[in-house]
Amino acid sequence: MAGEPILQVALALLKYGRSSELESVLRILFELLARSIHSQQARDVLDTIRVYVMSVNPVVGEEKMKDLVSEFWPVQPEPGSVADQLIKKGEAIGIAIGEARGEVRGEARGEARGEARASAKTIRMLQSILGLPESSDEEFADKDLSELNAMIDALRVQIVNRTAR
């Protein structure tokens, strides 16, 4: 196939990428590239080839790729398999998401605690106005915000009813 060497490589990789013949095809492709590109340009091309091959072909692993590349160029692809790189990227994303969720949950819990404290304070104030014994922190501990708000509403009704008499 005549034409640009990189185009030839791309088309051959598409054709043989999943094939068991890929190792022998890579040797031919690397010979072609060794004759047509210099070693500085080889790094980018080799990294691209490595990523593609290791993504689509279960037979040609990182060690085989290193051996093939070293036959033709003094440069090596970046260390770490595609899977390792994806795992590291996934871990970093997972950590960032976890931290963000933790911060949101912490803020929500903090806001809920702050609202609960404010509600408890309001309940005690309303109880004081009504001359009722003030509730302790333990009495509020097992109540959620909706229960505390219901207590406030009930106490307000008592105050309204008391002043209406």
Domain that holds residue 118: 82-164
Q: Are residues 92 and 139 in the same domain?
A: yes
More confident residue, 81 or 51: 51
pTM above 0.75, yes or no: no
Q: Are residues 67 and 89 in the same domain?
A: no
CB count within 10 Å of CB 77 equals 20
Per-residue model confidence as pLDDT tens digits over 57-96: 888 877 888 888 888 776 555 556 666 677 778 788 888 8
d(CA 28, CA 72): 11
Inside any domain, residue 150: yes
Number of domains composing the chain:
2
Q: Are residues 110 and 58 in the same domain?
A: no
Q: What is the pLDDT averaged over residues 39-49?
A: 78
Helices and strands (H, E) in the chain, number of each type = 7, 0
Residue pair 37/76 in contact by the 8 Å Cβ criterion: no
d(CA 53, CA 10): 11
From residue 11, alpha-carbon distances to 7, 8, 123, 163 in Å are 6, 5, 76, 89
Q: Are residues 91 and 149 in the same domain?
A: yes
Q: Are residues 44 and 115 in the same domain?
A: no
